[in-house]
Amino acid sequence: MTPTDPVGAHMGEPDPSGRFGRFGGRFVPETLMPACIELDAAFREAWADPAFRAELDGLLHDYAGRPSPLTECHRLSEELGLRLLLKREDLNHTGSHKINNVLGQALLTKRMGKTRLVAETGAGQHGVATATAAALMGFECVVYMGEVDMERQKLNVFRMKLLGAEVRPALSGSRTLKDAVNEAMRDWVATVVTSHYCLGSVMGPHPYPWMVRELHRVLGTEAREQSRALLGGADPDVIVACVGGGSNAAGIFSGFADTAAALVGVEPAGGAAVGGGVPGVVHGMASFLKQDEWGQVEEAQSISAGLDYPGVGPEHAHLSDTGRATYPNVTDAEVIAAFRTLTRTEGIIPALEPAHALAWVIREAPSLAGKTVLVNLSGRGDKDVAQMMDLLEDEL
Ligand SMILES: *Cc1c(COP(=O)(O)O)cnc(C)c1O
């Protein structure tokens, strides 16, 4: 597996210590180690159990609305001179791919005999998804959210409360997502007998990066079957997804890692952990991180709160290392333009996160001429309309 052999055995299991190449692992205090080991064993057993898989498939179908469709964008394809397909995760219940992960972890929580979910959230989307799963299962739910983020995302705070969750402000550090993760881990250690930590992306200590990717694999598997049916057995030339922690990208990449398709993860220019980070350890994992000159974790800054994570899942760091995937970035201005373009040409208002993936396709269209490009449309834009109205109202 070298950069000159990019189509190798990718996206299988990490090694027993949870390593993807030189990344991943389990960098946690002694007190958290037993909880990680218990979770690893429980997930491994559940994932191999056909009854668990059938119950999860049933929930994904009857509750979340899977399978999500694959949509061919005829007008935008013509404008760009390529063939553009969208995997429609925006049509899932709660409006994004996040429901795949939380339903899986909620079922696992029930199987472990636990009754309380702890989660972190930044923009509030993962908190809302977790609160939704908790309401469905009758679990207690506590969501940690940076105090600054709570102020910025009042609507999602209210949604979580409506769903019956308690939202606790993270008051340490910069009072944003990375502090909320620390608080959630602290809660988990103290309450591990009754609580499961429902982590929101392919990050954190082993088994989370692997487990969360497996729970999102369903979207990649569906997209593989759907695009083969559409393309007469062929695969798309390029698979594109936005990258915050990297879970929606991991889901779609996992469906195509063993094909010749190019895999492209698009980061925000202001939060490019793979493109602009250095190797380091945060939140229990070794990965690429945005750090300042003193090694302090730097705040990510982008128009899309859902991508403001200063790190990235370790498997993406590894896919970058081996050359199997590439991680370019786009600016906020390119993202706003892409958001407007998809809306006007296809009648689909995307979330600002997947607008990053579209922005890269639009910018690179000349070099993608004639190719089939599959974009994972990870979420819908309803949550971003008010923010865009403040920016664009005078122009319309
Ligand atoms: C949360 C979110 C993301 C970023 O998370 P990943 O783990 O990188 O997928 C992307 N898109 C949408 C719509 C989200 O809600």
CATH 3.40.50.1100 assigned to domain 65-96+219-395? The reply is yes
**Does any ligand 1 atom lie closer than 6 A to the CB of residue 245?**
yes
Which ligand 1 atom is nearest residue 212's CA?
Answer: 7
Statement: the pTM of the whole predicted model exceeds 0.85: yes
Q: How many whole angstroms from 258 Cα to the centroid of ligand 1?
A: 23
Q: How many whole angstroms from 306 Cα to the centroid of ligand 1?
A: 6
Which ligand 1 atom is nearest residue 203's CA?
Answer: 7
Query: Any idea which residues carry the catalytic annotation?
Result: 73, 97
272 touches 329 (CB < 8 A): yes
Give the containing element (helix H, strand E) for 85.
Answer: strand 83-88
Q: Which of 105, 149, 213, 247 to mutate to test the pocket of ligand 1 (most atoms within 8 A of CB)?
A: 247
CA-proximal residue: ligand 1, atom 7 (nearest) = 247
How far apart CA 377 and CA 355 sit, in angstroms, is: 8
CA-proximal residue: ligand 1, atom 4 (nearest) = 244
**Does any ligand 1 atom lie closer than 6 A to the CB of residue 246?**
yes
CA-proximal residue: ligand 1, atom 3 (nearest) = 306
Q: What is the pLDDT along the chain (396 residues), one digit of tens a residue?
A: 444 444 557 899 999 999 999 999 999 999 999 999 999 999 999 999 999 999 999 999 999 999 999 999 999 999 999 999 999 999 999 999 999 999 999 999 999 999 999 999 999 999 999 999 999 999 999 999 999 999 989 999 999 999 999 999 999 988 989 999 999 999 999 999 999 999 999 999 999 999 999 999 999 999 999 999 999 999 999 999 999 999 999 999 999 999 999 999 999 999 899 998 999 999 999 999 988 877 788 877 888 888 888 889 999 999 999 999 999 999 999 999 999 999 999 999 999 999 999 999 999 999 999 999 999 999 999 999 999 999 999 888
Question: In degrees, to the nearest 5, what angle opens at C-alpha 88 toward C-alphas 316 and 159?
Answer: 85
CATH of domain 20-61+97-208: 3.40.50.1100
Q: Which of 88, 91, 93, 96 to mutate to test the pocket of ligand 1 (most atoms within 8 A of CB)?
A: 96
**Does any ligand 1 atom lie closer than 6 A to the CB of residue 227?**
no
Residues of the chain with CATH 3.40.50.1100: 20-61+97-208, 65-96+219-395
> What pLDDT, on the 0 to 100 scale, is given for residue 302?
84
211 touches 143 (CB < 8 A): no
> What pLDDT, on the 0 to 100 scale, is given for residue 8?
55
Burial (CB count <10 Å: 0-12, 13-18, 19+), residue 52? middle
Q: How many whole angstroms from 370 Cα to the centroid of ligand 1?
A: 29
Query: In 188-198, which positions are buried (b, 16+ CB within 10 angstroms) versus exposed (e)?
Result: bbebbeebbbb
Q: How many whole angstroms from 291 Cα to the centroid of ligand 1?
A: 22
Query: Whose CA is closest to 240, among 222, 258, 217, 256?
Result: 256
How far apart CA 346 and CA 108 sit, in angstroms, is: 38
**Does any ligand 1 atom lie closer than 6 A to the CB of residue 353?**
yes
**Does any ligand 1 atom lie closer than 6 A to the CB of residue 378?**
yes
Instruction: Assign 3-class secondary structure to 204-261.
Output: CCCCHHHHHHHHHHHHHHHHHHHHHHHCCCCCCCEEEEECCCCHHHHHHHHCCCCCCC
339 touches 350 (CB < 8 A): yes
